[in-house]
Amino acid sequence: NAGVTQTPKFQVLKTGQSMTLQCAQDMNHEYMSWYRQDPGMGLRLIHYSVGAGITDQGEVPNGYNVSRSTTEDFPLRLLSAAPSQTSVYFCASSFQGAVTEAFFGQGTRLTVV
């Protein structure tokens, strides 16, 4: 039982490049979400999904896209990377939305130069 798996763990991008951060969970959780963690800012919600085919915006969605074609996968796409998107990104999943315990992945450290 792997839990929540994020890939890659580290990534360096040039300004303007695009990329996809992968997130997969094997717990059959309905709810998945993406956060970014910045010093002094805590964890801020980017996008979330309450089930396959359903996504919605969080607190800081600009510059990011998501889709949820399966229960297991919830990729985060950076359309045109900017230095302001340098951060640590966490994917999380939970069984019954945000009511129950959220399980987090190990994180992806992204640097945009």
Partner 1 sequence: QQQVKQSPQSLIVQKGGISIINCAYENTAFDYFPWYQQFPGKGPALLIAIRPDVSEKKEGRFTISFNKSAKQFSLHIMDSQPGDSATYFCAARGGGYQKVTFGTGTKLQVIP
From residue 15 to residue 34, what is the string marking binding to partner 1 with x (rule CB under 8 A)? ----------------x---
The CB-of-57 to partner 1 minimum distance in angstroms stands at 10
Structural contact between residues 88 and 110, judged by C-beta atoms closer than 8 angstroms: yes
In angstroms, what is the minimal distance from the CB of 5 to partner 1? 11
Which of 19, 27, 43, 52: binder of partner 1 (CB under 8 A)? 43
Decide: residue 100, CB within 10 A, 0-12 exposed, 13-18 middle, 19+ buried: exposed
Half-sphere exposure of 54 (CA within 13 A, CB side): 8
- Residue choice 34, 48, 64, 74 for contact with partner 1 (CB under 8 A): 48
Q: Cβ(76)–Cβ(88) under 8 Å? A: no
Tokens read off for 60: 């800081």
Looking at residue 101, the DSSP 8-state letter turns out to be P
Does 107 help bind partner 1 (rule: CB under 8 A)?
yes
Using CB under 8 A as the binding criterion, the count of chain residues that bind partner 1 stands at 26
